[in-house]
Amino acid sequence: MTSILLQQVRVIDPVSGTDQIADVLLSNGYIQLVASNISDIPSNTHIQDCRGLVLGTGLVDLYSHSGEPGFEERETFSSLLQAAAAGGFTRISILPDTSPPIDNPAVVAQLHNKSRGAEEQRSRGEDNSPTPLLNIWGAITLEVAGKQMTELAELAAAGVVGFADRQPLENLVLVRRVLEYLQPLAKPIALWCCDRQLMGNGVMREGADSIRFGLPGNPAASETSAIAALIELVAAMGTPVHIMRVSTARSVELIAAAKAQNLPITASTSWLHLLLDTQAVKSYNPSLRLEPPLGNPADLKALRQAVRTGIIDAIAIDHTPYTYEEKTVAFAEAPPGAIGFELALPLLWQSLVETGEFTALELWRALSSRPAECLNQTPSAIAPEQKTELTLFDPQQSWKVERKSLRTLSDNTPWLGQQLQGKVVQIWC
């Protein structure tokens, strides 16, 4: 096979902690050599001038939503994988809120077969685009009255990456049982902490802005009280837990205190909660209707600092596609969620790295190695004899966010119609 030499590319490897300009030689699906200047170039090598480009380990998404099965008008399995690849992701993880939900081995097998079919199509040369690795979260509960647990052991044997649920688990007796039953399976458990009763009909974070904009407020306590209760259960049971969708400054304080006590807790926030706060809601753009809602300015500041310091381990994309008709309604009536695969890296890079608030390594670590560790997976690395799981990114390339430029089928994003800087050139996986 033809080798590829990426010349003078900026190499960002969070595993080794290196950020350097180097030549990188790829061949037969492996990294052959990384050096400041490679002069002994094999024959039949394709040489690519990569000055100004960034080569990082493949991005890893902790949790996102698939339209298929059940909501193919929002997103098909094929478009989901294409959007992820276009955004630089080499591993993605889908939540079990499909229709039917991922609550039995048959659905898991169906999705794995689709993933294998995409890979076989690529290997036959029918589609030259790389296919990200698919991780599947298994449902914790069945959609029945009383919230019964699924057959957790059967789902684990079917190959789910871990266990999550479609909605917050508010019954603490059930949560305790779940932690007890899942402990011997040694699979990640991802829980969204939210008290629906405290949340009420709130559609944005409670505070001065919610009053100013005339929208029902969702108090921070709806999240923090649920996190505090979960931390108490983890302390009692000892079962490792991943806390999803952290969105408030007080939540950061609770998680920091739990980690200081060496409790087995990891946490993530969504990329949108690191870019925008409640002040953005003044546009009433339905794509900013999220769960949890965007935080107040103090929340945004605390979340950014928590990601930099590792209190929040990872940045999740939580890609949530909806059709034009579903989202083109009043803000309070819109279903919560926004797309993100193709937008997250360019916007985070420009907002955090280019401004100097984050180093490139800090951002890449939160999008690549730490999410893999939260999934109990080995992070990719840029070193000889490592498999080529890589993302090549051009921070300076300009492009417009519009229907024809997106691989996802949906366009529910507040950046629709805007010009962005930064685009993924290629992935290897």
Catalytic residues: 318
CA–CA separation, 297 and 318 (whole Å): 21
CA distance 391 to 427: 4
Q: Are 403 and 83 in contact (CB under 8 A)?
A: no
CA distances from 130 to 63, 85, 410 (A): 20, 7, 21
Tokens of 38: 């490679």
- Amino acid found at 202: G
Q: Is 387 helix (H, G, I), strand (E, B) or coil?
A: strand
**Residue 90: which of 301, 413, 341 has the closest Cα?**
341
- Calculate helix-pair angle for 297-309, 360-367, nearest 10 degrees: 90
Contact 266, 243 (CB under 8 A): yes
CA distance 119 to 316: 24
Reference 392, options 85, 14, 1; nearest CA is 85
Q: How many CB atoms lie within 10 A of CB 400?
A: 12
Task: Decide if 217 contacts 204 (C-beta within 8 A).
Answer: yes
Q: How far apart are the C-alpha atoms of 166 and 293, rounded to whole Å?
A: 17
Residue 56, CA distances (Å) to 88, 90, 141, 388, 408 in order = 9, 11, 37, 11, 23
As a whole number of angstroms, the distance between CA 161 and CA 159 comes to 6
